[in-house]
Structure 1
């Protein structure tokens, strides 16, 4: 039997916990979604750059093709996070996170074809159960309006994250995780910079501090941990673990924002949690 590397599981779980905390900044920061992402990626790039200076850059991309590929990853990252914060801003932290958690379905469909791997029925069942959990949480809400918009933006966020995860898996073995995270955040920041020309708002000291925390802790650290985790485990397993993000996020939202989850939310979250634990247990023995 083949055991999953414990380091990869722990690092992926730590990253997902920080991902869940990051969702709250969509409510804390009264700013356009793209502005939050711009600040997030800017601080993350600076933090990752300092790490590379201290620890050594490792293998850096040198050819134009690789740099263009990293630019593509950066664009996907920017779009993913804009969709993510839009979902939370137009609805709630729970709705945004839960809609985003549909991304394992996309990975399950794409990964075997992309990497020429065997399709497993259990992966499909896992993805289906995750979808059931999400449906339980959002079904009682009326069609249209804030909930519908939040779900729509969240699903788009999940789709772009699925593509990003698979591309990271493809290239993560060729470059250190910190280099990948640095280039992705750096290109995302550069691509969003021109939009500042149309921004006429004002950021206070508190908003700068929150953006710094979001960028350094909830982005630089969590992003590097998640990418590094992909060196030890398949993207499918990482995606299932990431389904805990709404659970962490809902707990944080309850404690810090006083957002009380409804009974359907708790029921759906339980389905996701049980599915994640079952998937992890099965994969440690397969």
Structure 2
């Protein structure tokens, strides 16, 4: 994939990921059913890809199988909490809460490697903290936006844990195979709880869940994996920070969730923090190489 096509692909992936909350809201399903449907359709798409790809895969160890199972369970919980945040606080609030994920990943990685964050990373953490305070309309625990922001931030924390587990334990496995295995675990573990509710879904519900699983999951993650072959991981992370921008815009245009000035200001700080963390991570890698 040429560099220009890779840049277009990663921007398209960020756009599609920014629409996750919108399609989840349009499906009008419960967080459980949205998570189940998203995982099911993503798995079907990735399984067909691996089937027609026809290339033999290397055998996985028991340890890798165990980590794939754990990551699949974390993915299910992460998605369910995110869509729960959407149902309570709205698409924009959930998107901004999830945008704090790089800050959580930085903190966890620093604790894991016993490495102190640098000045830029401390600045990024400060920006995220101030940004979260600006996004929250007040300090009331009964405000739906605050509750939605809390669950979205918890979802981001789980995704940070998931990302670090994948980085340190599943890095040698092909990205599509990792996603295929995790989506399989996700929809299988949710099947007993989702099965009694499936008859309540209408045709349009299924359509939005299919779009969510095929476009915003399987296709988007395939674009990210292919782009990483031509673009640095730090650059990809910076572009993916635009996901929150697309989420706010989509909620504003299609769901009439008009953001306040404080929300826009807070979102700008959180996105800026993501850029700083990505740049600081890229600098750290160059120093260590």
How many residues in Structure 1 have an aligned counterpart in Structure 2? 281
Task: Give the match for residue 41 of structure 2.
Answer: 43
Task: Give the match for residue 109 of structure 1.
Answer: 107
Task: Give the match for residue 156 of structure 1.
Answer: 154
Task: Give the match for residue 213 of structure 1.
Answer: 211
Quote how far apart the aligned CAs of 1:66 are: 1.5
Task: Give the match for residue 34 of structure 1.
Answer: 32
- Counterpart CA distance in 2 for 1:58 and 1:52 is 9
Alignment of 1:158-173 (within 5 A): 158-173=156-171
Unaligned runs of 5+ in 2: none
Per-residue CA distance 1:14-40 (angstroms, 9 max, x = gap): 433222101112321221101111010
- The answer to which of 60-69 and 39-48 deviates more is 60-69
Task: Give the match for residue 264 of structure 1.
Answer: 262
Which residue, out of 80, 84, 87, partners 2:85? 87
TM-score w.r.t. the length of structure 2 is 0.84
Task: Give the match for residue 190 of structure 1.
Answer: 188
- The answer to which of 253-262 and 198-207 deviates more is 198-207
Quote how far apart the aligned CAs of 1:50 are: 1.1
- The answer to which of 219-228 and 145-154 deviates more is 219-228
- 8 Å contact 2:24–2:212 — kept in the other structure? no
Cα gap change, 1:174/1:185 in structure 2, threshold over 3 Å: closer, same or farther?
A: same
- The answer to which of 145-154 and 272-281 deviates more is 272-281
| Structure 1 position 119 matched with structure 2 position 120 | no
Per-residue CA distance 1:177-225 (angstroms, 9 max, x = gap): 1101101111111111111344264222211111111001101122344
Per-residue CA distance 1:87-109 (angstroms, 9 max, x = gap): 01011111111122222222111
Cα gap change, 1:36/1:19 in structure 2, threshold over 3 Å: closer, same or farther?
A: same
Cα gap change, 1:6/1:58 in structure 2, threshold over 3 Å: closer, same or farther?
A: farther
Unaligned runs of 5+ in 1: none
Task: Give the match for residue 250 of structure 1.
Answer: 248
- Counterpart CA distance in 2 for 1:146 and 1:17 is 26
- Counterpart CA distance in 2 for 1:239 and 1:93 is 21
- 8 Å contact 2:64–2:170 — kept in the other structure? no
- 8 Å contact 1:39–1:211 — kept in the other structure? yes
TM-score w.r.t. the length of structure 1 is 0.85
- Counterpart CA distance in 1 for 2:95 and 2:53 is 34
